[in-house]
Amino acid sequence: MSVIRVTREFRFEMAHVLWNYDGPCRNVHGHSYLLYVTLSGLPLDDTDHPRNGMVIDFRDLKRIVLEHVVNRFDHALMVSGLAPADLVESYRKHFSNVIVSPYQPTCENIVSDIASIISDKIPEGVSLHSVKLYETANSFAEWYASDNR
């Protein structure tokens, strides 16, 4: 039997601001993020099992990512915890869903965070292969398990 990779696409809207950045992204701005989550594993080989032939039921993958990533990030404002406390409090007064991250909320750091969040939720026998996060139509960051062992 062959190892198979399965991928599901997700979309969410999120704003962020880059603390101490020297370009326009130092201002609060939003993106329409496109997220691809790829898992790998052996398809189940049990003719008596309802998920025979599946690496993971796409419904299960959808539930994991929606619950732990999309529902958290969608329509949020992500700011770095390195920003001054009074600035963060100002954001909290003006925005109802503020995520204060322990990192600069770049696409690179967000995709790494998403991989970390998802990897703990994947069922046994299935592995997180990669996570790709598009910040714009032509700009994305990727995380691969093989690069992070």
Q: Give the confidence band of 149 by pLDDT, cuts at 50, 70, 90.
A: confident
Q: Which of 141, 126, 135, 109 is nearest to 7 (CA)?
A: 126
Task: Please say whether the structural domain 4-77+106-147 has been given the CATH code 3.30.479.10.
Answer: yes
pLDDT tens figures, 126-141: 999 999 999 999 999 9
Contact 72, 94 (CB under 8 A): no
Residue 122 has pLDDT above 80, yes or no: yes
Q: pLDDT exceeding 70 applies to what percent of the chain?
A: 100
Q: What's the pLDDT at 1? A: 75
> Rounded distance, CA 76 to CA 99, Å?
7
- For 12-48, write each residue's pLDDT tens digit: 999 999 999 999 999 999 999 999 999 999 999 999 9
* Percent of residues, the chain, with pLDDT higher than 90: 99
* Domain boundaries along the sequence of the chain: 4-77+106-147
Question: Could you tell me which residues come within 8 angstroms of residue 4 by beta carbon, excluding any fewer than 6 positions away?
Answer: 40, 41, 42, 43, 55
Secondary structure (DSSP) of 66-105: IIIIIHHHTTEEEEETTS-HHHHHHHHHH-S-EEEESS--
Mean pLDDT of the chain: 97
The pTM of the full predicted model, rounded to 2 decimals, is: 0.95
Q: What is the mean pLDDT of residues 61-83?
A: 98
